[in-house]
Structure 1
Amino acid sequence: MLTAPPRLLLVHAHPDDESLWTGGTIAKYAANGAHVTLVTCTLGEEGEIIPDGLALLAAAESDQLGGYRNGELRAACAALGVVDHRYLGGIGRWRDSGMVGVPSNEHPRAFINGDFTEQAEQLLAILREVKPDVVVTYGPDGGYGHPDHIRAHEVTTVACAQADVRRVFHVVTSERATNEGVAELAAVADLPHRLPAPGELPVTPDDEITTVVPIADHLDAKLRALRAHQTQVTVWQDDSGSSCYALSNDIAQPIVGHEYYILASGRPDDAESDLFGGLG
């Protein structure tokens, strides 16, 4: 362990990404005394809304979803133990770009249309203030191809190259753990969501994964955070302890006991199960 509290900074594209991708990791390190900073790049204004009663928040209606999701994110941060949250450039500076090929890609404040140098400088200023030992973001494909995830990766890569960051990790999903989790869900009676077809969920081959962080002791916090994002995520559990979540596509996705990373830069020594391993 480091002599001073370790500092972890995560860069995510939209509210809910922090919980979906890294909720257990955040809760684990926050509970163990790390200083955790979360940087969110947009308000998620283009998200698809699950509850019918909130449908008028949508971009095509009242366009109030971003403000609502800010409240969801505050609740998720409380569940995970995050006390230092920032929006890149300030709240509302960059707008959710939406998926590839949709009209929102052309919005003048869309994250992907923003000045790249400005965005990198905004993140670099946070890095120089916080001085994180470890930074986490997505890989080059953004995890599943979302333009904002890809831009977050690119901005983070450039900013970290100019800052004194000891390790950078890309968060991924494990092919093995996902397949095993889906197989377990297939045995559950009355699952309220449809099972994914083979190859439908984005996964990474396990031989590419460098770091596996155990989060079983922090799944309750992750589940509370996921539930906070009620416009985007539905969480299901049964009495036997089986659980899954679904986005607006109604595909069941397993909630597993580890979170998975690829070391993008920094020393690999002792990083197999701890983002800070060997950084003493």
Structure 2
Amino acid sequence: MFTSDLTIKNITNRLTHIAAYTRTLARANLNDSAVLSENFYAGLINRVYGYNLTNSNNFTRNSEAIDLHDTDRRICIQVTIRQDRNKYKETIEKFIKNKLYEKYDELYIFVLGYKDKIEKDFDTQDLFNFSHKEQIISLHELVPKIATLNDEVQEDIEEYITRRFKFPLFVLEDYTEQHFSQEIWGYVESIYQNSDKCVVPDFLGRFGMNPQHFYNLACDALAQLKLTLSKRKIFISNSTQQQVDEFIIEATKSLDVLRVFSVNHDPRDMDKMVYWANADRAIKEILRPSYQKTTELLRENNQKINLSK
């Protein structure tokens, strides 16, 4: 493997873990991490695009609509863990309400994770230009851009990520073997159930009505499963660990097929049924057998834990 390929793989893996970790803390209302992430992403985006972004909250506490700005380039960015249209709409409305279009020419929304499929643009009252295709950017969309940069910049980005974002090394006293096993089980369930919902027909018998949403949820659960395993592996047996690793591989394969289906999903076009058929087959033939094996081993693991008490 070329050095550049290894660097990109390391960057991709680390960014996936960071996004999952930040989203988990934010859902628990631990907002300090979100603030730290704004500073972190300012430095990351600066390296990728050559900007000079700073955290606007350092000057105006909890600035409405924006988190980062480059005043010389008249660019501003909102960093968010939310991936729904309502969040994007709220950001644009606040941008207009505060007349930020007088100070900035371009507004970007940076999503920590995957973003839902957007069908149409937003109403900006003709006060500024905003393209959802170009100005709503997910964390994962940075990777192809980083891959086009020279080796020196890529290595600087990898070093920056490693240096600036350290996962806490705390160990919770009440975090037991059973807690760990149940946490893993929860992520496995979430991956499978949301993947399955992605292809479930609606009441008229048509294929999934909102596959992008459930695909995103499954991807988030997979990222959090990987993150959890990277922190603690000592709590499960080798055989269970191997099966969970296998499940991750099979889930990744299935999600690749689901991604194609979610992008091409159109209930009005029956010619696109082939994408649904491929996704349905991936769930039934690849993901489901691995899910059943994994949950059985996790069930046995929990039983052994209970008997040892």
User: What is the TM-score when the length of structure 1 is the normalising length?
Assistant: 0.28
User: What is the TM-score when the length of structure 2 is the normalising length?
Assistant: 0.26
Structure with a larger share of its residues in helix: 2
Structure of greater relative contact order (alpha carbons < 8 Å, 6+ residues apart)? 1
Structure with a larger share of its residues in strand: 1
